[in-house]
Chains A and B, each alone.
Chain A
Amino acid sequence: MSSSTAEESARSEAAMLPSPTPVQLINERGVAVDNDTETAAKYPMPSPEALMRAYDKLVTGRRVNDQAGALVRQGKMAVYPSSHGQEACQVAAALCLDAQDWLFPTYRDTVAVMTRDVDPVEVMVLLRGDWHSGYDPIEHKVATQSTPLATQLLHAVGVAHAAKLKGEDSVVVAMCGDGASSEGDFHEALNFAAVFHVPVVFFVQNNQYAISVPLSHQSVAPSLAHKAIGYGMPGERVDGNDLAGVLSVLGTAVQRARDGGGPTLVEAHTYRMQSHTNADDATRYRTDAEVAEWAPKDPLVRMKKYLTDAAVLTDEAEAAIGDDAERVAATLRDGLNSEVSVDPDDLFKYVYSEPTPQLNEQAAMLRDELSREGE
């Protein structure tokens, strides 16, 4: 190898490694970070309008999490895995996409799905328990929320691959958690994406836990973002509670994918402020002191401070944003408080394009049973 190609490959390898510390544009005190020129050029501060729009969604996202928690306690929903504390990631994952792009969310990414303007009550169908998914994935270009961990990452690669073959200008953002990064499918998805050079951004919300298991039990790599270089794609890490930072880092990765630059792995450092779901008890495996350390890093507090100091967020604007959030919360309450009628025939209708003779028989048996019950 000549020295110039050796230098070149060293440079391209270095470019795949994440920043030495998570990228941050606005710090915990709500003050803009004075980044070096290279970082600032790569990850520019979003415009005040973009930040205001995102802040509005952020406030709504928090309100949705709180409202859903209340609805679970009232027995209106089967379960709710809250993204409380992770709303900056949720909002940015949706806002970095254009209409022709796709989102692949998990069970925890309800707020991201809603931020992509899917009807909140339709989104909650899964967690309310009347069907496995309530919205049309094709219409919204939002896949069903995935529970079998990391499996959706391969579907994202497939959508991107098809888009590439069809000459579509779409990018796919595929979400997963820190725990899911240990699954075999995570490895296969990243490798496929890199080998086929498809427009996918893998977005890992590292919220430090997989139910009770801390990150230290998942991986001893320097960071999850460091895994990217092993597949031959760039990795980046970002302060996941800094809305501006996540918007910028995801924006850069999405643009790169759109320009034919291939996949990127983005790891957001954040924290699951509540239990895994309402069925979990986080006090069994982590201390209140640890949770308290993360409280001041809250994504809402710092955005509000920054936008207020910049005189972009006025009292009237704040009030209007609060109204938006209350409207969504009210929609959720009304939707989930109203009795849904489930149709037992639905059990058999959608197993195949056309029900088999056996399914028709079973449906008839159930109808007969129910009609006799009614007698």
Chain B
Amino acid sequence: MTSVADQQTPAQAAAGRVADDDGTTTAAPVTFGKALTAALSDAMDSDEGVVVFGEDVGPLGGVFRITDGLTDRFGEQRCFDTPLAEAGIMGMAVGMAMNGMRPVVEMQFDAFAYPAFEQVVSHVAKMHNRTKGKVKLPIVIRIPYAGGIGGVEHHCDSSESYYVHTPGLTVLAPATVADAYTMLRDAIDSDDPVVFLEPKKMYWSKDAVDLKALETARRDPEVASGIGKAVVAREGTDATLIAYGPSVPTALAAADVAASEGRSLQVVDVRSLVPFDDETVAAAVRTTGRAVVIAEAPGFASVASEIVARVQERCFHSLAAPVRRVVGFDTPFPAPKLEHYYLPSVDRILDAVDDLQWED
């Protein structure tokens, strides 16, 4: 797995990550998964209304161990297993939120969130609008998502398009250890419902991040929420790669290879799919005049197509070539042995970059 340890985003710097002059960090390496656990734990510490529930999130600590230790530490009232029913989990979260709590629910895998879809679309997303803001639903729906782990069917879906297409939902997809922490805290603090997509192949990726410093920095009212903010994850001058979630490390790896071949690629980490940061993305593309959007989900009517449309609308006169996409095929997610054909790869990204009309 590609390490993103040497990439320091402005947001990370602002959030207080300590970097020495030579770029090395003093904090101990922490995994993406542990950063999420810390975010849950710190949020539960700071607000008694935060409750965590779902399937196997109690004593087991979740199948990916993201809720590890929470039941021990906060008791069965605050972190608990439900009967096995996703619509039940989501519907109960709605009621608990209506009665003043801040539920954080876990859907065990992307494709197992589908039984909850009606609750999400018809109630979670619409309650605020239906009641003209009288009822707020500060629910966080955590979803381990996407592929790259050799999972069998129903365990690797990139389901973000269903959610971003549903007005009323905030949709986040962090790609760094620091963002795993800060954006989950932002999500829990948000008064709107948030679909929080955790790229499951990144749970074990590590970065030297000082979580305590991030937690302290959050108490400063000047530190803005990451919701609605994209970041430039790597500076570059020739073309811009726009990615989110599991595709960010692939984009960074492609930029590394391109650099060794003499081409300087900028990488934008979208982080927040809804609301979308038009400003940062368009500004980045204007500096290079070329862009490739990368995502794992099938490309048809997807987040990637939305990004292309928005960039084209805003940057038309700065573009030297049409914006390209490197996305999942319009097929169901394949079985483990075919997965590598499907996933956006460094080579496929570099092919797309080569296609950006460089001849003049």
Contact = CB atoms under 8 A, between A and B. Distances in A.
B336 interface: yes
Given A148-B112, A212-B60, A351 B55 contact: no
Contacts of B152: 78-79, 126-127, 129, 132, 147
Interface string A334-348: 000000101010111
B59 interface: yes
Given A147-B153, A211-B55, A359-B330, A185 B115 contact: yes
A182 interface: yes
Nearest to A78: B336
Contacts of B28: none
B341 A348 contact: no
B115 A184 contact: yes
A284 B57 CA distance: 12
Nearest to B61: A284
Interface stretch (A44-52, A94-102, A213-221, A231-239): A213-221
Given A79-B152, A183-B115, A212 B56 contact: yes
A5 interface: no
A347 B60 contact: no
Contacts of B331: 347-348, 351, 359, 362
Contacts of B332: 132, 351
A366 B343 CA distance: 11
A358 B348 contact: no
B334 interface: yes
Contacts of A183: 84-86, 115
Contacts of A285: 59-60
A147 B152 CA distance: 10
Interface in A110-162: 126-132, 147-149
Contact of B335 (A129, A179, A212): A129
Contact of B85 (A128, A182, A348): A182
B162 interface: no
B153 A366 contact: no
B338 A342 contact: yes
Contact of B153 (A132, A184, A347, A358): A132
A218 B84 contact: yes
Interface range for B: 35 or more
B279 interface: no
Interface residues of A, number: 43
Q: Describe B's contact surface by its main secondary structure.
A: loop
Interface in B69-102: 81-88
B213 interface: no
B150 interface: yes
B204 interface: no
A184 B87 contact: yes
A273 interface: no
Given A132-B153, A347-B329, A213 B81 contact: yes
A210 interface: yes
Greatest chain A CB density within 10 A among B61, B334, B351 is at B334
Contact of A182 (B56, B83, B151, B341): B83
Greatest chain B CB density within 10 A among A127, A211, A213, A348 is at A213
Greatest chain A CB density within 10 A among B56, B342, B347 is at B56
A145 to B, nearest CB: 10
Given A147-B152, A217-B83, A129 B336 contact: yes
Nearest to B155: A147
B337 interface: yes
Contact of B347 (A128, A185, A356, A369): A369
Given A148-B154, A182-B83, 5 more contacts: A211-B55, A213-B58, A284-B59, A356-B330, A359-B329
The 7 closest A-B pairs by CB, nearest first: A129-B336, A212-B60, A182-B83, A179-B84, A182-B84, A132-B153, A344-B341
Interface of A: 78-79, 126-132, 147-149, 179-180, 182-185, 210-213, 217-219, 279-280, 284-285, 340, 342, 344, 346-348, 351, 356, 358-359, 362, 366, 369, 373
